[in-house]
A and B are shown apart, each in its own frame.
Chain A
Amino acid sequence: MNTVPSALLLILVPLLPLLLVFPALRSRFSRPCYIALLPALILLAVPQAVSIDLPWLLMGSGLGIDDGAGRLLLAMSVLLWAVAASLLHSVNGKPVDDRLTSCFLLTLAGNLGAILATDLVGFFTFSSLMGYGFYALLIAGGGAETRRAARVYLVCLIVADLALFEALLIAAATARDLDFEAVRQAMAQSASPGLYLSMVLAGFALKAGIWPLHFWLPLAFRSFPPAVALLLGAVPVAIALLGFVRWLPLGEVRLPALGLIIQAMGAAAMFYAILAAAKRAQPIRLPACAAIFASGLFTTFLGVGLGDPVAWNRHGNVAYFLIVFLGSGVAVLVIITGWRRARGHYPTMSGKPVDDSPPWFERWSGALTRWAAQVGGLSRLCAAWRAKVGGLRQIRAWQRALHGSERFLQRWAYAITLFLLLGIVVVFAGASSWI
């Protein structure tokens, strides 16, 4: 049922946190993070499904919430954000500052907007906003190690957004409308959906940190403060998994081979997570292993859905429960580990880590250069130093080449212009007499 107040409420859910991002606008409120959640909370109390078309927004967009899965996701998000807001007042022992609150609200707006988006462009926009906001949140709330993790996350985010942008273009060229249902059907009827599927799978796998594209996830859980770590499952990971469900033509296409590959990857991810958890006995790292395991489980389920549309149509809703389980489960683990750390059950993050070296399977599945350094008997420091110097040399060589080409082009531009002028006057004179 759509009424004007419900429609306004839908718009306010992402808009209010966005407005409160500006310190000047929130200066009158003592707890702006809670106030930003109010429209979402009220929306949850509206008993019916609500939606609104916004044809003037972007390329024509919309927001909405259904009775089932969407509402469940929104409820989980509101709960987690409220808990995170309560932890926000003390990040790394420091009092919360304006920048951190702004980043928090920016990420919140993107997160809630992505849940409510009813079309690809809206989802892409809000998830990008959430991604960049989350990056800023990581940077604003942490130290040197956090920044390293955030940098890796940013690279993954940019590459993922590029892949998803390509997928969006393909979808727009194929479907007459960009709402989720229309795209699903258009892709199901498309003769070559392969590129679209690859881009969506790669994009969201990078964003969710699904194995083997999980580069940033273990780093993130190792170093982030509780308010941020609590959101890791619910914000980047859960929204990316939601992206899979919303963007892929699940239940419409039958792709057994692709489904099998994805199932195998999901199983491998779960195996990896179990091994990692067993090797790294530190409970502090359990949330990361749990996130990789749960996303592996989700990937396996996704593979089943791509291979068997009938099974997906029958049990597809389980995907939403998996997302909610992942988001809330990771948050619970973070809270427990945080509480145990506070009670002194194991060393704090500022202390020396018990076992900071990666396990053997991570080394082997890691970068080839690191592996070569180990086998060749060179110290890791030496390899890293060489890589760095090599990188710098490469950059300098590039710079030199570009500077050289720039100077050459400038000289050439003068010469060619004068030459053209001269030549053309001659040609023009000849042509005029000929005409």
Chain B
Amino acid sequence: MSWDSALPLFVLASSLLPGLVIFFLPEERVAIRTTLNLAGAVLKLALVGVMIWGVFHGSHYETRLPLLPGLDLLLRADSLSMLFVVLSSVLWLVTTVYAVGYLEGSPNRSRFFGFFSLCVTATIGVALAGNLVTFLLFYELLTLATYPLIVHRGTDEARRAGRTYLIYTIAGGALLLIGTAWLYTLSGTLAFTARGFLSGLDESHNGVLVVIFVLLIAGLGVKAALIPLHGWLPQAMVAAAPVSALLHAVAVVKAGAFGIVRVVYDVYGLQFSASLGVTLPLAIVAAVTIIYGSMRALFQDDLKRRLAFSTVSQVAYIVLGITIVGPLAAVGGLVHLVHQGVMKITLFFCAGNLAETLGIHNVSEMNGVGRRMPWTMVAFTVAAFGMIGTPPLAGFVSKWYLGLGALDGGQGWVIFVLAGSSLLNAAYFLPILYAAWFKAPPDAWLAERSFGGRETAWALLAPPLVTAFLTLALGLLASAPFSPLQWARFITRLEYTP
């Protein structure tokens, strides 16, 4: 096995092996567990760095292992997969640091970090999958690895949320399985191909292909939280903050959105999807999800629940971007995959800090919190403005390309959806900022913990500051080489250039 064919496996193993070792570590071996976690995350990042450099310069990294007759387990690094791999690897490192600080002194940490590593392994597998069957395997593994994290606290509420999550995602996975199998019987191949592999099929299959498309999108839409399949996401916010960060920014929701991109781009092909007439209905579902999610967020007092509905709304931007047929909107959708992740993880880190340090869980309890935890609230403010789409932050770049793409594709109605969403985002984020910065703090906080003169622990404070800085840098330096925007343009060029 050459270096080029082994590299995707090494990237997977960099989180899988530490995860497996951590499962068997006694609870009190904190130092070894933390070292293994961080070493795995840093090694993965280094390997991904090598990989992205190679992909940009035309190298092919592919691992092929026989799975079933005629079907291989295929891991392949292409431009699209690298976008997701880099996002997951960077955010995994940051989330690991945060989780180490967040779970300090709590029980069952070996179990938690074991599944945590497994979850990231599955996400990387989803990203690197070179065919639909490999994608499906890792997609299901992701479901199973995430469930123990959601129920980790063991409360009734957590178990209920876990049950809901499992019902939704297993049902979604079943739909995906049926769609995949059906597609294989029709086409005889499942390998992801630039501009799709179905356009050569006989026209008589078009009706069936539409049904399969619906199946695949319904299966993936569960994790992407498209309405009406989003019900599990607001319930899952009962999980610990690092898990929420993982669900909303790094792994689960993103896996669904990424899967939809794969199906539209590399299974059906964008032009063929449009010719089947399936992109417009999907765009409408995404638009409805955007507005509906924002409206629901508006009425939530629970901070994490408000953020969860915000995710429902924001992830739909990705789907909207790829279903407006045109290169500019595609750039907007793809770059939002990264931007939304960075912004949303910042918000969840901050929500976790408020809960852990002061016992704050609700928006109505946030009066004056900016004076007590200024750096946390600076990070929150940056990410919230990013979500609204204020320049020069990351969210502005996404909305810019989505809007331009809509005009370019002759779908002006999307502009109104974007404007409405921005307005609603402002309506549910700005009151939080006002309360935090300008209202008088209470005499005593609900459950204040002391961190020796600092606003909170370093391990809790550094991650949101890093991701808030990224939110600013990704917007401000959007046109710099190797920015997510430039990479999204690179992917789109490959998709649209014959």
Contact = CB atoms under 8 A, between A and B. Distances in A.
Physical interaction between A and B: yes
Interface of A: 55-60, 99, 121, 124-125, 128, 132, 136, 139-140, 147, 154, 158-159, 161-162, 165-166, 168-170, 172-173, 395, 398-399, 402, 406, 409-410, 412-414, 416-418, 420-421, 424-425, 427-428, 431-432, 435
The 7 A-B pairs of least Cβ separation, nearest first, read A125-B391, A410-B231, A409-B228, A417-B171, A169-B403, A56-B480, A173-B407
Interface string B148-176: 00000000000000000001100110110
B479 A139 contact: no
B372 interface: no
A421 B228 contact: no
Given A55-B479, A59-B400, A59-B478, 6 more contacts: A60-B479, A136-B438, A409-B230, A417-B222, A418-B171, A421-B174
B415 A57 contact: no
A114 to B, nearest CB: 12
B391 A128 contact: yes
Interface stretch (B56-64, B181-189, B353-361, B440-448): B181-189
15 contacts: A57-B477, A57-B479, A58-B478, A59-B479, A136-B437, A147-B438, A165-B399, A166-B403, A398-B299, A409-B230, A417-B229, A420-B215, A420-B218, A421-B178, A431-B185
Contacts of A412: 228
Contacts of B404: 169, 172-173
Nearest to A127: B391
B32 interface: no
A413 B437 contact: no
Contact of A170 (B175, B182, B407, B476): B407
Nearest to A409: B228
B391 A431 contact: no
A422 to B, nearest CB: 11
Given A59-B400, A121-B391, A417-B175, A154 B407 contact: no
A148 to B, nearest CB: 13
A55 B486 CA distance: 13
A132 B390 contact: yes
A416 B175 CA distance: 12
B430 A154 contact: yes
Contacts of B438: 136, 139-140, 147
A431 B392 contact: no
A298 B40 CA distance: 63
Contacts of A424: 175, 178, 215
B299 A416 contact: no
Contact of B419 (A121, A124, A132, A165): A165
Given A154-B430, A409-B228, A413-B168, A162 B423 contact: yes
A168 B477 CA distance: 19
Nearest to B477: A56
A277 B168 CA distance: 65
A415 to B, nearest CB: 10
A223 to B, nearest CB: 15
Contact of A402 (B172, B185, B186, B299): B299
Contacts of A159: 423
B407 A169 contact: yes
B362 interface: no
Contacts of A417: 168, 171-172, 175, 218, 222, 229
B46 interface: no
Given A56-B477, A136-B437, A421 B419 contact: no
A408 B342 CA distance: 32
Contacts of B385: 132
B91 interface: no
A58 B391 CA distance: 9
A421 B171 contact: yes
Contacts of A162: 419, 422-423
A107 B90 CA distance: 33
Nearest to B172: A417
B284 interface: no
A161 B208 CA distance: 46
Contact of A99 (B408, B415, B437): B437
B392 A58 contact: yes
Contact of B296 (A57, A60, A402, A435): A402
B475 interface: yes
A148 B229 CA distance: 41
Contact of B392 (A125, A165, A413): A125
B479 to A, nearest CB: 5
A55 B299 CA distance: 41
A225 B12 CA distance: 60
Contacts of A60: 479
Contacts of B175: 417, 420-421, 424
Given A56-B480, A57-B476, A165-B419, A158 B426 contact: yes
Given A121-B391, A416-B228, A165 B480 contact: no
A416 B221 CA distance: 13
Contacts of A425: 178
B182 A431 contact: yes
B392 A435 contact: no
Given A172-B404, A410-B231, A58 B475 contact: yes
A101 B316 CA distance: 39
B413 interface: no
A158 B434 CA distance: 15
Contacts of A420: 175, 215, 218
Contacts of A410: 228, 231
Contacts of B167: 414
Given A413-B229, A420-B175, A428-B181, A128 B419 contact: no
B211 A427 contact: yes
Contacts of B399: 165
B295 interface: yes
B144 interface: no
A121 B475 CA distance: 12
B437 A435 contact: no
A399 B299 contact: yes
